[in-house]
Chains A and B, each alone.
Chain A
Amino acid sequence: MDKNKSMTSPLKSAKGLGSAKHGLSHWIAQRVTAIALVPLTIWFVSLIAFMKSSNYESAIETVSNPLNATLFLLLIIATFWHAQLGLQVVIEDYIANKMTRMTLIIITKFILAIIGVLSALSVLRIVL
């Protein structure tokens, strides 16, 4: 065998491409969260549409239901994750300046993390 030939396999040289080395996992995560959000969104809209939303006690009762609380937490995780991935792609496509682009991506990540944790905490406080 040629001494100068690389020892790395073709798979190794194909993996880890892209500017952040995580292009494929970003793409897959966007699709997986999208698939999760299909049933979760249908559940959420029907829950809100059928709920007597004006009544505080019945709203508490609805969110306190263990099944609803579980689905709420899953909806929150999938929604904020999916929103972050989507906004990142939009920012990457339209903002040419690297510094502005990175700053905007980090800011959206922070904002979505804050309001995501805030909503999850609210659900937990209602349930517990």
Chain B
Amino acid sequence: MSDSLKINNSGSKPRPLSPHLQVYKWQLTSLMSIGHRASGIALSLGTFLIVIWLVALAAGPELFSYVHQVISHWFGQFILLGFSVMLFYHLLNGIRHLSWDLGYGFDISTVYKTGYAVLVASLILTSITWLTVWFN
């Protein structure tokens, strides 16, 4: 079995193939960078929600109550929850990007500190928003 898995037959240890995605060690920095793009694309699609809400409001009470029914459904609420997480993440990470544009926070320890701060703050702001919606 192990013989059949050997890549070479020269007797030396098989050399590692790199980069190998199955054993690739992800970094916070690259994941958050991809996350900024992914959340940006998701938010672009999410703008349809705002348009639908505004058009329904302008159209009249019948369409507005129908849209509200869809939003109130558990799946609609799930979509809105996702939208709010993406919005806070993109907002906070965007501020992080703007500070980099000004030349601040480039050293590795600061990059990791602000990275974790963005992740924690996004979750806190999302929780505060939804607690406000539910208890208001």
* Chain A residues packing against B (C-beta within 8 Å): 31, 34-35, 37-38, 41-42, 45, 49-50, 52-54, 56, 59-60, 63, 72, 79-80, 83, 86-87, 90, 112, 115, 118-119, 121-123, 125-126
Q: What's the minimum C-beta distance from A81 to chain B, rounded to whole angstroms?
A: 12
User: Does B57 lie at the interface of the complex (its beta carbon under 8 Å from any beta carbon of A)?
Assistant: yes
Assuming the contacts A49-B133, A53-B68, A87-B41, asked whether A122 and B57 have C-beta atoms less than 8 A apart, the reply is yes
13 A-B residue pairs with Cβ-Cβ distance under 8 Å, sorted by A, are: A31-B98, A50-B136, A60-B57, A80-B47, A87-B40, A90-B41, A112-B44, A115-B51, A119-B55, A121-B58, A122-B55, A122-B58, A126-B57
Known: A31-B98, A87-B44. A54 touches B132 (CB 8 A): no
Q: B129 within 8 Å of A by Cβ?
A: yes
Q: Which residues of A contact B136 (CB under 8 A)?
A: 49-50, 52
A119 touches B132 (CB 8 A): no
Q: Is B84 an interface residue (CB 8 A)?
A: yes
Complex Cα distance, B91 from A42, in Å, reads: 9
The 4 closest A-B pairs by CB, nearest first: A122-B58, A122-B54, A49-B132, A83-B44
CB–CB B48/A115 < 8 A: yes
- List 16 additional A-B contacts (Cβ < 8 Å) besides A34-B97, A42-B91, A119-B50: A31-B98, A31-B101, A34-B94, A38-B94, A49-B129, A54-B68, A54-B72, A59-B57, A63-B57, A83-B44, A90-B41, A115-B48, A121-B58, A122-B51, A123-B54, A123-B58
- Residues of B near any A CB (own CB < 8 A): 37, 40-41, 43-44, 47-48, 50-51, 54-55, 57-58, 61, 64-65, 68, 71-72, 84, 87, 91, 94-95, 97-98, 101, 129, 132-133, 136
Interface of B is mostly: helix
Residues in B with CB closer than 8 Å to A31 are 98, 101
A83 near B51 with CB under 8 A, answer no
Let me know if A41 and B64 touch, CB within 8 A: no
- Cα distance A72–B57 when bound, in Å? 14
Contacts of A56 in B (CB 8 A): 57, 61, 64-65
In the complex, chain B residues whose CB is within 8 Å of the CB of A60: 57
Residues of B within 8 A of A38 (CB): 91, 94-95
Instruction: Return A113 CB to nearest CB of chain B, in Å.
Output: 12
In angstroms, how far is the closest chain B Cβ from the Cβ of A64?
Answer: 10
- By beta carbon, the residue of chain A nearest B94 is A34
